[in-house]
Each structure stands twice: as C-alpha cells, then as structure tokens.
Amino acid sequence: MPELPEVETVCRGLRQLLVGRTIQSVTSLWTKSFPQSDHPVLPGAAFESVERRAKLVILHLDRGFSLLVHLKMTGQLVFVSDSGERFGAGHPSGSLVDHLPDRSTRIVFKLDGARLYFNDQRKFGWIQLLPDNEIADLTFVRKLGPEPLSGAFTCTSLADGLRRRKGTTIKAALLDQTVLAGIGNIYADEALWTAGLHPARRVASLDDTDIERLHGAIRRVLSISIEAGGSSSRNYVNAEGKRGAYLDFAEVFRRQGQACRRCGTTIIKTRVAGRGTHLCPHCQKEFIDWQE
C-alpha cells in the first residue's frame, strides 16, 4: 500500500535506527524478493544514510553500494533490536507486528545488535543492490516525475506533466509516476476531493484554476499524512512495526456510505482507471464536455 507518506515515514524511522549499523549476514526466504542476497559486498557493509525517491527506499551502504527497496502493495521494513525491546510500544496508534519472522517474512538482515525484516505478503516488492552511481541511470528512476513536496513541483511542472496525458482521466494521470512521483490510490482520491475535482474528469478539460487547486491539494494532503505518520491501512507499518494515523483523517478513502465532511452528501465508491475510487458526488461533479 505504501505511498509517498508511508515510505517517507519508514525512511525517517530507518534513518534513526539503521545508520551506523553493520550487516553481518543476509538470509533469504524467498529468492525473488532479493536475488542478490548472497552478494559478497553485503557482509560487513555499514548503513551510511537513508533516502526516499518516489516510493523507493534507498539505503546507502559504505563501499559505494546501495540497497533499493520497493514495498509495492504489502512490503514492510521492520527493525527489531536483539534485546527484544519494542520501539514505541504503547504508542496510541499501537498495533505492532508481533513475532518476527512470520509467514510473510522474505528477507532477514542480521545486523550488529538487531535484525531488519523485509516482509511482503503478496511478494510484489523487491530489493536490489547496485552501485550508487548507477541509481540515477535506472530507466524507471530517470522517468520519474518531480517530488510533490519539493520546489521542483510547481503549477507549471504539473501542467507540463498533465499535458502528456490529455486523453486520460485525472485519476489515471495522478497515478502515473512520470507525471509526479509518489501518489497512489489513497492520496489520488484524497487530493481530488480536496481540489473538488471528479476523478473521471478528462485531463484535457482542466483549466489553470483547476490545476492550481489540484497542485495545492496534493501538497496539503501529503504533508498532513506525513505528520500523521502515514496511513493506518492493513498492511502498512513503519520501521518500528507500528501503524500510522492518517486514515483517521481521510475525507473519502474507505469512507463510502459515510457523510462528506464538507457538504453531508454520502460518499460513494466507484471504479475509475481500473481502481477502486472514492468521491463525494456533490463536491466532485462530473464534468460534461458539451459540443454541438
């Protein structure tokens, strides 16, 4: 599930817990999750820094290599110290991952004094080891659009990105990582409600004001979620195995049948761009493009 706010939250946690630690060994329980798990550079390598790009976790090691981790739908990176001490136990949003490894555990990094678990129920996620200087050359990294919370993401850059997707719906365009990086199904729905735009609106029908509202909505929704520690959805946990709180504040996602907090109309769930889509039929009017 993890989208930008969840991946950002995981990265912030790992930065505190991982940097300075050394990998002692790597155990693979599912080869396809990390085909290079027995690479000779790994034992003895230390974590230097943690970075996020789009929904990608980048763990920089010394020795000039990095581990790239994509959590896809159900991936988790959970840090557990050898003492068994549970970080943040008793946190209000609670709900810890209990005993690791469990049946979703695919890769175990044994560190000095701790373990890092890569869990992934649906096995879509992956880990890749590669030299630092090759990260930027990866095709899918090169194609990524701007980071929505960076200065590079402006109304103009959004309009430029959308120009390439004029023929499709605004929801499909927001999910396109080459338009902007890091939005997934939850935050697409949330941003479109915030901007008052119907998900099935054709990109070509948006005017400058619409794009301006959408730009602001994207930034606001993502910032609020990061502050809340990401969403509280089923498969997402942060580096300490805890859930976030964002869905407590969600306006439409998984709120079908409940009242819109802006106008009281019942939120509906439908299908747009092949994905479950939540919207308020009053605040997000379908746009009819008249022509004689």
Residues near DNA (CB under 7 A) are 1-3, 6, 32, 54-55, 70, 72-73, 103-104, 121-124, 140, 164-169, 172, 175, 177, 184-186, 231, 233-236, 271, 273-276
Active-site pick, 8, 52, 55, 243:
55
Q: Which one, of 218, 221, 220, 243, lies nearest residue 233 by Cα?
A: 243
Helix (H, G, I), strand (E, B) or coil at 195: helix
261 among known catalytic residues: no
| 114-143 per-residue burial string, b: 16 or more CB within 10 A, e: under 16 | bbbbbbbbeeebbbebeeeeebeeeeebee
- Judged by beta carbon, residue 24 or residue 121, the one nearer DNA is 121
- Judged by beta carbon, residue 111 or residue 125, the one nearer DNA is 125
Does the bond joining 101 to the residue before it have cis omega, within 30 degrees of 0?
yes
Q: How far apart are CA 153 and CA 174, in angstroms?
A: 13
User: Least separation, in Å, of the C-beta of 53 and DNA?
Assistant: 10
Active-site pick, 3, 6, 8, 251:
3
275 among known catalytic residues: yes
User: Least separation, in Å, of the C-beta of 175 and DNA?
Assistant: 6
| Beta partners for residue 25, in sequence order | 110
User: Least separation, in Å, of the C-beta of 45 and DNA?
Assistant: 25
2 among known catalytic residues: yes
Active-site pick, 21, 219, 275, 281:
275
Q: How far apart are CA 187 and CA 282, in angstroms?
A: 19
Q: Which residues contact 189 (CB under 8 A, 6 or more apart)?
A: 171, 199, 252, 253, 277, 278, 279
- Judged by beta carbon, residue 184 or residue 199, the one nearer DNA is 184
171 among known catalytic residues: no
**The amino acid at 278:** H
- Judged by beta carbon, residue 42 or residue 198, the one nearer DNA is 198
User: Least separation, in Å, of the C-beta of 198 and DNA?
Assistant: 15
Residues designated catalytic: 2-3, 55, 275
